[in-house]
């Protein structure tokens, strides 16, 4: 079976990263011009900042942004046995203290880890200063900025660490990290009133102004949300709003055109081409420089806590705090921009994220290097039994092979090199031979499925698995149809003669390259509305009941007569009879008494679960945190959105 995994991130001999501070120029070399660099260069610059594994309570879904600011150096150190990570305000490639920026490398004011120097900016006390950061890969979440006076930053090193920091004991490392984090966290910067910006590359005149959102984190510090939501983050029930809902205006027509090219038109929520890979855009904010700071040399720390991945990044830049100015001496970054702003279009209701179907021959010849990228694919793919990997950019190989460190293999699911005992290396499309069609005399043409939702029950026997978004085959793969979050959209579309629908590539491919897998078996309804993905009607049901752990033979189907004998049902189901069924009954999972515990947001705003149906519809069994914590368990069940395998005895439906 061919498999694909969305987008990319990797660890090699040094851990690669994909987020960095770009304004002021960071100590690891990040600048506003970094988006012009290759993936390899960008990852190298971002490598100083990454903490590769960051989550709470042994639960990968409890990512850093779920408790912003609370993931600390002790958690990073102890999270993975035998693999201690070093969380430093300036970043250190998750390695030893000696590799942290500003400790040995780039310890001088204005020095970078690349061996060069920059001229740190002057920041006047009481002024508003622009900051920016850039991400090759987006995991959403939020960020904050902090200041530490350089003399205090250096004191932590000189007073606690040995002359050779690489020889520091664990106790010395801990004391040092506590010292520097105390220094930075005592000076978190406030956000200047006004809008946020997304600037295109290093073009100071081309940007979108965005309506910012904030979230209170550790010690009451106020963080800002990342204005770029990750791919399908909102559509799948996560926090945040659609991209266009945050836009205020554009600086010029070019800004709107580039924004549309990256994130889609106004009817696209969060599935634009660059939603997960917004490398061309800087997140720009203005921060207020406190009036009570001592003048002198400082380090500015940027911290990004991810929401959609169990990762985080930190970077530093050097700045000089100077006396308050009687006038604004900081030149406007848009002082030479004269184009009138472009007002945004009013967003329209959300349609389905339809994959672009090819209009040309769907076989791409592999490059001479032997590496192959599937058409349109952007991300990392494995090579040589997962000991290596390479990067694809919109279907084109970008750069050379990279090797995983000794003892690690490239993980398809995680998109980086993980410990080899955690990786099952499976054959992927990149390792399969490319077989050309025997007689490709014409170009296959596939019709794009309609994006108009079907409001009534379709007459065709088409089914969409719960929560599934994408295209599915029909009629021996000669046709296909479209699903959005488990809901059927439109009708059937035909593949061109000589082609079959390829579910892995999500388009009609040459027939001799497609193995059409027909769903096997027949199924009966489970309790409530939870059907097997291939269930169509009772007409094709058999003596099988679909339970949370899978279908099993010789079980009583829905509306079957289990005659109050639980032995007729497969564990953990029980025979259930109600007034509607009468003497007939069905096998359902054993029921439990469900609770209704509100999540922190409902508590904050004073709502009870049963009063927040619209909010619950976007959370319940689709949000990873809710599925773990079982928030509003009873109310979700009563809405038909119960958690997997749970039947509430006290439910109303």
Per-residue pLDDT, 82:
77
pLDDT of residue 415: 65
Q: Give the residue, 503 or 25, on which the prediction is more confident.
A: 25
Instruction: Find which of 32-41, 99-108, 477-486 is predicted with most confidence, using mean pLDDT.
Output: 99-108
Say which residue, 508 or 570, is predicted with more confidence.
508
Q: Is the peptide bond before 297 cis (omega within 30 degrees of 0)?
A: no
Say how many C-beta atoms besides its own lie within 10 A of residue 409's C-beta. 22
The DSSP 8-state label assigned to residue 108 in this structure reads S
506: Cα separation from own chain's centroid: 21
Q: How confident is the model at residue 532 (pLDDT cuts 50, 70, 90)?
A: very low
Q: Mean pLDDT score of the chain, rounded to an integer?
A: 76
Per-residue pLDDT, 408: 81
Contacts of 404 (CB under 8 A, 6+ apart): 11, 12, 386, 387, 388, 389, 410, 417
Other residues' Cβ atoms within 10 Å of the Cβ of residue 495: 24
Residue-level pLDDT at 618:
74
Distance CA 11, CA 403 (A): 9
Query: Is pLDDT larger for residue 77 or for residue 328?
Result: 77
pLDDT confidence of residue 460: 37
Taking the model in full, what pTM does it have?
A: 0.55
The percentage of residues in the chain with a pLDDT greater than 90, rounded to a whole number, is: 39
pLDDT at res. 568: 55
Q: Which residue has the tokens 């773990």?
A: 628
- Within 1-128, residue ranges assigned H as helices are 39-46, 73-78
Mean pLDDT of 569-588: 52
pLDDT digits (tens, 9 = 90+) for 488-519: 777 788 887 888 888 777 777 888 888 886 44
Least confident residue range of 27-31, 68-72, 447-451: 447-451
Beta bridge partners of 299: 148, 318
| CB neighbour class for 593 (10 Å; exposed up to 12, middle 13-18, buried from 19) | exposed
More confident of the two residues 38 and 62: 62
Model confidence at 327, pLDDT cuts 50, 70, 90, reads low
Higher pLDDT among residues 472 and 639, named by residue: 639
* Cα–Cα distance, 288 to 351 (Å, whole number): 40
DSSP element (H, E) containing 190? strand 190-191
Give SS3 for 215.
strand
- At residue 540, does pLDDT exceed 50? no
* Residue 76: per-residue pLDDT: 93
Q: Looking at residue 524, what is its pLDDT? A: 40
Percent of the chain with pLDDT over 70: 69
Domains of the chain: 19-203+212-239+280-331 (2.70.50.50), 359-381+391-434 (no CATH), 443-518 (2.170.140), 538-589 (no CATH)
Exposure of 587 by Cβ count < 10 A (0-12 exposed, 13-18 middle, 19+ buried)? buried
pLDDT band of 77, cuts 50, 70, 90: very high
Q: With 70 as the cut, is the pLDDT of residue 534 above it?
A: no
Looking at residue 425, its pLDDT comes to 83
Point out which residues pair with 544 in neighbouring strands.
553
Residues 462-473 have a mean pLDDT of: 66
Q: Which position has the token pair 């209704």? A: 596
Spatial CB neighbours of 15, under 8 Å, sequence gap ≥ 6:
47, 50, 52, 93, 94, 95
First to last CA, the chain: 39
Per-residue pLDDT, 553: 43
Predicted pLDDT at 214: 94
Rounded Cα distance, 45 and 53, in Å: 19
- What DSSP element (H or E) covers 641? none
CA geometry: angle 46, 52, 55, nearest 5 deg: 135
Host H or E run for residue 413: none
Q: Does residue 289 or residue 568 have the better pLDDT?
A: 289
pLDDT single digits (tens) 127-139: 999 999 999 889 9
Q: Is the pLDDT of residue 169 over 80?
A: yes
Q: Which sign, positive or negative, has the C-alpha torsion 580, 586, 588, 593? A: positive
What are the residue ranges of helices labelled H in 209-333?
253-263
3-state DSSP helix/strand/coil percent for the chain, to nearest 5? 20, 25, 55
Tokens of 163: 């002359």
d(CA 628, CA 626): 5
Nearest to 145 by CA among 40, 223, 79, 215: 223
Task: Give 172-225 pLDDT, tens digit per residue.
Answer: 999 999 999 999 999 999 999 989 999 999 999 999 999 999 999 999 999 999
For position 304, what pLDDT does the model report?
97
Give the integer Cα–Cα distance in Å for 653 and 529: 11
Q: What is the pLDDT of residues 616-628, one digit of tens each?
A: 887 888 887 888 8
Q: How far apart are CA 217 and CA 197, in angstroms?
A: 22
pLDDT band at 477 (very low <50, low <70, confident <90, very high): confident
pLDDT at 549: 41
Mean pLDDT of 139-149: 97
Answer yes or no: is pLDDT of 39 > 80.
no
285 Cβ contact list (under 8 Å, min separation 6): 130, 131, 132, 145, 191, 192, 196, 197, 212, 224
pLDDT value at residue 588? 59
If pLDDT is split at 50, 70 and 90, which confidence band does 414 have? Answer: low
For 248-290, how does the pLDDT look when each residue is reduced to its tens digit (9 = 90+)? 999 999 999 999 999 999 999 999 999 998 999 999 999 999 9
Report pLDDT for 429: 37
What pLDDT is stored for residue 347 in this prediction?
36
Please indicate whether residue 456 or residue 636 has the higher confidence score (pLDDT). 636
| Model pLDDT, residue 527 | 38
Q: What is the pLDDT of residue 299?
A: 98
């Amino acid at each position: 079976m061919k498999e694909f995994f969305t987008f990319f991130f990797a660890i090699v001999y040094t851990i690669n990263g994909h987020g960095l501070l770009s304004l002021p120029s960071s100590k690891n070399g990040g600048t506003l011009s970094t988006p012009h660099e290759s993936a390899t260069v960008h990852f190298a610059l971002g490598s100083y900042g990454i903490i590769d594994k960051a989550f709470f309570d042994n639960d990968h879904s409890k990512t850093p942004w779920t408790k912003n600011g609370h993931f600390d150096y002790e958690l990073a150190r102890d999270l993975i046995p035998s693999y201690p990570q070093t969380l430093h305000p300036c970043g250190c490639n998750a390695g030893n203290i000696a590799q942290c920026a500003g400790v040995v490398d780039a310890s001088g004011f204005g020095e970078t880890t690349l061996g060069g120097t920059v001229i740190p900016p002057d920041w006047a006390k009481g002024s508003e200063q622009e900051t920016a950061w850039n991400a090759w890969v987006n995991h959403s979440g939020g960020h904050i900025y902090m200041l530490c006076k350089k003399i205090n930053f250096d004191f932590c090193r000189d007073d606690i660490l040995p002359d050779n920091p690489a020889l520091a004991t664990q106790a010395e490392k801990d004391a040092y990290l506590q010292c520097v984090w105390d220094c930075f966290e005592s000076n978190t910067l406030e956000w200047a009133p006004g809008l946020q910006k997304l600037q295109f590359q290093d073009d100071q005149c081309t940007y979108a102004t965005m309506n910012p959102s904030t979230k209170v984190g550790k010690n009451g510090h106020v963080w800002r949300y990342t204005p770029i939501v990750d791919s399908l983050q909102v559509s799948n029930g996560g926090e945040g709003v659609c991209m266009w809902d945050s836009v205020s205006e554009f600086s010029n027509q070019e800004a709107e055109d580039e924004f549309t090219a990256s994130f889609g038109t106004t009817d696209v929520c969060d599935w634009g081409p660059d939603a997960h890979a917004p490398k061309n855009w800087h997140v720009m904010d203005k921060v207020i420089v406190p009036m009570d700071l001592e003048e002198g040399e400082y380090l500015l720390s940027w911290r990004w806590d991810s929401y959609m991945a169990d990762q985080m990044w930190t970077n530093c830049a050097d700045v000089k705090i100077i006396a308050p100015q009687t006038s604004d001496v900081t030149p406007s970054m848009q002082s030479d921009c004269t184009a009138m702003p472009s007002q945004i279009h009013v967003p329209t209701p959300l349609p389905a994220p339809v994959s672009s179907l090819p209009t040309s021959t769907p076989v791409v010849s592999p490059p001479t290097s032997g590496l192959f990228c599937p058409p349109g694919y952007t991300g990392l793919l494995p090579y040589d039994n997962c000991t290596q990997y390479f990067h694809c950019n919109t279907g084109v190989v970008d750069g050379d092979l990279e090797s995983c460190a000794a003892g690690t293999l490239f993980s398809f699911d995680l998109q980086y090199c993980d410990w080899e005992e955690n990786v099952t290396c499976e054959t992927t499309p990149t390792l399969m031979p490319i077989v050309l069609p025997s007689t490709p005399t014409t170009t296959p043409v596939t019709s794009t499925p309609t994006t108009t939702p079907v409001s009534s029950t379709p007459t065709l026997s088409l089914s969409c698995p719960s929560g599934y978004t994408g295209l599915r085959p029909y009629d021996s793969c000669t046709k296909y149809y479209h699903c959005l979050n488990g809901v059927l959209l439109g009708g059937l579309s035909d593949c061109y003669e000589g082609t079959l629908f390829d579910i892995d590539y999500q388009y009609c491919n040459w027939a001799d390259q497609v193995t059409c897998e027909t769903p096997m078996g027949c199924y009966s309804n489970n309790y409530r509305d939870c059907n097997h993905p291939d269930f169509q009607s009772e007409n094709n049901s058999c003596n099988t009941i679909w339970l949370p752990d899978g279908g099993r033979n010789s079980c009583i189907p829905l509306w079957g007569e289990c005659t109050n004998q639980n032995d007729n049902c497969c564990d953990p189901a029980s025979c259930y009879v109600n007034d509607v069924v009468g003497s007939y009954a069905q096998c359902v999972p054993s029921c439990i008494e469900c609770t209704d515990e509100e999540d922190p947001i409902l508590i904050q705003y004073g709502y009870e679960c049963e009063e927040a149906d619209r909010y619950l519809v976007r959370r319940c069994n689709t949000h990873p945190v809710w599925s773990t914590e079982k928030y509003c368990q009873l109310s979700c069940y009563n809405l038909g959105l119960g958690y997997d395998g749970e039947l509430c005895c006290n439910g109303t439906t």
